[in-house]
Amino acid sequence: MPVDSRLIVGARRADVADLAVLAATATWDGPLAQTVVPDPRLRPGVLHAWYAILIRHALEHGRVDMSVDRRSAAVWLDRTVPLPAPPDYLRRLTIGCGPHTAAILRHEQLLERHRPRTGHLHLAVLAARPGPAGVLLAHRHQRLDRAGIAAHAVAGSVDELIMLTGAGYRAGAVIRLPDGPPLWPLWRRPTTGRAATRRPVLATAG
């Protein structure tokens, strides 16, 4: 069913701080966040710093969709073309995340080793309850279907796995951080449109 485009807006640089708070709040008690930042007192600040870098990067190399009330967001990275690292990433991550930087990098390196090599849009963060999440996902999926582009995500909890498989993703083999929670890589093939190309999503999916 088509999604009313008036329900979704694209984020801008001025939204980064608020979106980082939203993402940290939505994910702070999940299994992955607890593993990366075990101390709950430090977790919100570390996640905020990490997500702020990620969201800024997605604004340059992907898409950040928000509900019009700014209470839900989906952060997508464009991997239909080579994706550069965020500028000065290690220094910025170390300043914002301190001693948790190593755990974050281990997580990112694990996901990179298991990332599909076929061009796709990568759902890096989904900060939304199931209902709003469905609207955000449908909004982006419709555009990816028209462009013939696949989507990739990694579920860090059973609830995320159920939500994403319900949105058309298929789960692959479980991967796991050392002493960490199971992670489920997921893949969604485009249901319509032409075959996926190496053209940037920024040029094909508004």
Q: What is the pLDDT of residue 206?
A: 59
Tally of domains within the chain: 1
Q: Is residue 1 part of a domain?
A: no
d(CA 53, CA 51): 5
Residue 176, beta-bridge partner list: 182
Q: What is the pLDDT of residue 6?
A: 79
Q: What is the pLDDT of residue 194?
A: 52
Q: Is residue 55 part of a domain?
A: yes
Q: Is residue 2 part of a domain?
A: no
Residue 64, beta-bridge partner list: 75
Distant-in-sequence contacts of 25-31, Cβ < 8 A, 24+ apart: 25/127, 26/126, 26/127, 26/128, 27/125, 27/127, 27/156, 30/156, 30/157, 30/160, 31/156, 31/157, 31/180, 31/181
Q: What is the pLDDT of residue 197?
A: 46
Only one residue has tokens 């996640």, namely 47
Domain range spanning residue 136?
A: 7-204
Is residue 76 within 8 Å of 63, Cβ to Cβ? yes
DSSP state of 5: G
DSSP state of 67: E
* Residue 108, CA distances (Å) to 12, 17, 85, 101, 179 in order: 25, 22, 11, 11, 15
> Burial level of 198, CB count in 10 A (0-12/13-18/19+)?
exposed
Q: Is residue 195 part of a domain?
A: yes
- What's the pTM value of the predicted model, to 2 decimals? 0.90
Q: Is residue 170 part of a domain?
A: yes
Q: What is the pLDDT of residue 167?
A: 94
pLDDT tens per residue across all 206 residues of the chain: 567 767 899 999 999 999 999 999 999 999 999 999 999 999 999 999 999 999 999 999 999 999 999 999 999 999 999 999 999 999 999 999 999 999 999 999 999 999 999 999 999 999 988 788 999 999 999 999 999 999 999 999 999 999 999 999 999 999 987 778 899 999 999 987 554 444 445 534 55
d(CA 82, CA 31): 30
Q: Is residue 49 part of a domain?
A: yes
Give the CATH number, domain containing residue 57.
Answer: 3.40.630.30
Q: Is residue 52 part of a domain?
A: yes
Q: Is residue 128 part of a domain?
A: yes
